[in-house]
Structure 1
Amino acid sequence: MKILYFAWLRERLNRASDEVEPPADVETMADLVAWLRKRDEALDLAMVNPAIFKLSRDARIVPWDTPLAGAREVAILPPMTGG
């Protein structure tokens, strides 16, 4: 599964994506984020307030409780600023 990072999150992590194979007990988008944060200290620090992030499953914004099964691509989207 490909994990995509956008905007300031991508800059903070110094990478645009990761390829991962989550374990079977990672069943929802929220589970995936928790699992990713446990594996990566930089991501954990960047997502100290996870509620501000939007999640996308195969190019579609979804709630955090969306099942992960069958997802090929997940994007983590930080809040955007600008005008």
Structure 2
Amino acid sequence: MAVTVKFFASVREAVGASSETLVLPTSVTTVGELRAHLAARGDAWGQALGSPALRMACDQIMCGADSPVADGAEVAFFPPVTGG
């Protein structure tokens, strides 16, 4: 399953990327599992994605960690407050 992951504001700055497309292992089926998968990459990733206040969206709809991720989905991670 391939998904596009987008990072916004301080999350983008911390991980050094605004987006990426990746093929997920079969064990990753929810937004929360995707978050944990990315956080396991190391320090900057873990810190950026580890905040309990982190906001998540799947296909441009706000969601929780238990939301399923389908093939071709767009998942976004961003801090609770972003400015323009």
Give the TM-score range, shorter chain. 0.7 to 0.9
In structure 2, runs of 5+ residues without a counterpart are none
Number of equivalent positions = 81
Is structure 2 residue 36 aligned with structure 1 residue 44?
no
Specify whether residues 81 and 62 from structure 1 end up closer, same or farther in structure 2 by C-alpha distance, changes over 3 A only.
closer
The separation in 2 between residues aligned to 1:69 and 1:81, in whole angstroms, is 27
Instruction: Give the corresponding residue for 1:13.
Output: 15
Identity rate of aligned residues, in percent? 31
- Determine helix, strand or coil for the equivalent of 2:60: coil
Structure 1 counterpart of 2:73, one-letter code: R
Relative to the length of structure 2, the TM-score reads: 0.82
Q: Cα distance 1:26–1:81, how it changes in 2: closer, same or farther (>3 A)?
A: closer
* TM-score, normalisation: structure 1: 0.83
Structure 1 stretches of 4+ with a deviation exceeding 3 A read none
> Which residue of structure 2 aligns with residue 65 of structure 1?
66
Which one has the bigger strand percentage?
2
What are structure 1's unaligned runs of at least 5 residues? none
RMSD of equivalent CA atoms: 1.7
